[in-house]
Amino acid sequence: MPAKGDGITKRKDGRYMARYTVHTPTGPKRKVIYGRKYKDVEKKLAEARGDAARGIVYDDENMTVGQYLDRWLSDAVRGTVRESTFSRDKYLVNNHIKPSLGRVRLKNLGALHLQGLYRERLDSGLSGSTVQKMHHVMHKALAQAVKWDLIPRNPADSVRAPAASSKEMHPLSADEARRLLEAARGDRLEALYVLAIHTGMRRGELLGLKWDDVDLDSRTIRVRRTLTRKGKGGTYGLGEPKTKKSRRTIRLSQRAVETLKRHRKRQLEEKLQAAYYEDSGLVFAGEGGNIINPSNLRNRSFIPLLKKAGLPEITFHDLRHTCASLLFQKNVHPKFVQELLGHASVAITLDTYSHMLPGMGGEAADAIGEALG
């Protein structure tokens, strides 16, 4: 039932004005609609009252995009996602989104604002993958604003997200992989490189691996945690694996088992000789038992090993690609490769490594010819 004072009246300037009342989480609020024609205002008033009756209330407080994103991060994101995901979203909001759109009123934010932001960030040199993550963050945030009845629709629905930049892979050949492992023989972290190539484990999974997760008798490893970082320049710690599928049990090769046994013996000797050793149970730890910084791993261990083996400079993640490449060369089924690598679905495995799969070109044509006689 309309509240007292609600209805349509004609102003002195000739325009029509409609007043109506809605109930918001902070109490009743008066809304105003203007128009030059009575019928136009009448139609808008009917739509607004219909929305209000269905519980759809658009609060026109002067909340800015920056204020809303801060509230969204603290109320809807923190504690509901991995700490590393929260830190990444917060970094994108504070460093890329708020500087451009922070002062825009939330109710005025449109698709053109977002499209302009993405174009601006791409032109500044930001990668397509990072800008795509920005779009994902904005889409989630604005979808929540719709659910909270702050805006009528999600403007990100009408924006085309930039394509993610494809990262070129540089997997090692079987001969190159053997040269790298030969160069690592006797190295303090030899077992890390053996596991990286033999299992395809992610760098964070290897650096977060604990002896409690290793069963050398049954030749298995359980991936239950990974190394995470709190924001850009933040400290490293142990957190949840990337996805549910990342939690997995991996069967070890005999060489991996033997290398891990030698590694464990060497680590025990280090503990006895060290003046101070903080034993956190990590399989791959610094000389004082501390977490190994990934940058230090790359600069002080991985790059020197590549040079020693006479190999080109690649990323540590390319060792994971090397594992997948070698398996596909031996015609291992993609489903088994997916389970080993911990991909969320076999579709991701196929999409990532389709160019490595046999039978994608001439072999496929020969196979269908043989099948049909």
Residues 32 and 17: beta-carbon distance below 8 Å: yes
C-alpha distance from residue 196 to each of 95, 163, 328, 350, 358 (Å): 34, 29, 16, 20, 23
- Tell me, yes or no, whether 189 lies in a domain: yes
Tell me the CATH number at 267.
1.10.443.10
Residue 1's pLDDT is 44
Q: Which two tokens mark 342? A: 């911990």
Domains of the chain: total: 3
Residue 369's pLDDT is 65
Residues 41 and 16: beta-carbon distance below 8 Å: yes
Residue 166's pLDDT is 64
Same domain, 131 and 189: no
- Tell me, yes or no, whether 369 lies in a domain: no
Same domain, 100 and 204: no
User: Helix (H, G, I), strand (E, B), or coil: what is residue 6?
Assistant: coil
Q: Give the pLDDT of the chain (373 residues) as one tens digit per residue.
A: 445 446 788 888 888 888 877 766 566 777 777 778 888 888 878 877 776 665 555 555 678 999 999 999 998 898 888 777 888 899 899 989 999 999 999 989 999 999 999 998 888 877 888 899 999 999 999 999 888 778 888 999 999 887 776 677 899 999 999 999 999 999 999 999 999 999 999 999 999 999 999 999 999 999 999 988 765 556 888 888 877 888 999 999 999 999 999 999 999 999 998 888 889 999 999 989 999 999 999 999 999 999 999 999 999 999 999 999 999 988 889 899 999 999 888 888 888 887 777 554 555 566 656 767 5
Residue that terminates a domain, selected from 105, 123, 158? 158
Q: What is the span of the domain harbouring residue 41?
A: 7-53
Same domain, 196 and 270: yes
Same domain, 341 and 270: yes
User: Helix (H, G, I), strand (E, B), or coil: what is residue 227?
Assistant: strand
Residue with tokens 């650096």: 207
Count CB-CB contacts under 10 A for residue 78: 13
- Tell me, yes or no, whether 370 lies in a domain: no
Same domain, 115 and 199: no
Same domain, 281 and 345: yes
Same domain, 316 and 342: yes
Same domain, 151 and 182: no
Q: Which amino acid is at 115?
A: Q
- Tell me, yes or no, whether 91 lies in a domain: yes
Residue 213's pLDDT is 95
Same domain, 210 and 350: yes
Instruction: Quote the DSSP letter at residue 25.
Output: T
Same domain, 148 and 179: no
Instruction: Quote the DSSP letter at residue 316.
Output: T
- Tell me, yes or no, whether 262 lies in a domain: yes
- Tell me, yes or no, whether 199 lies in a domain: yes
- Please tell me the distance from the alpha carbon of residue 200 to that of residue 318, in angstroms, as a whole number: 9
| Residue 257: partners with Cβ closer than 8 Å, 6 or more residues away | 216, 219
Q: At what angle do helices 128-147 and 83-92 cross, to 10 degrees?
A: 100
- The string of pLDDT tens digits covering residues 109-129 is 999 999 999 998 888 877 888
User: Helix (H, G, I), strand (E, B), or coil: what is residue 187?
Assistant: coil
- Please tell me the distance from the alpha carbon of residue 288 to that of residue 312, in angstroms, as a whole number: 31
- CA torsion 283-242-313-187 (nearest 10°) is 0
- Tell me, yes or no, whether 121 lies in a domain: yes
User: Helix (H, G, I), strand (E, B), or coil: what is residue 363?
Assistant: helix
SS (H, E, C) 237-288: EEECCCCHHHCEEEECCHHHHHHHHHHHHHHHHHHHHCCCCCCCCECCCCCC
- Please tell me the distance from the alpha carbon of residue 220 to that of residue 338, in angstroms, as a whole number: 17
Same domain, 232 and 277: yes
- Tell me, yes or no, whether 68 lies in a domain: no
Tell me the CATH number at 143.
1.10.150.130
Residue that terminates a domain, selected from 105, 128, 158? 158
Residue 148's pLDDT is 78
Same domain, 319 and 286: yes
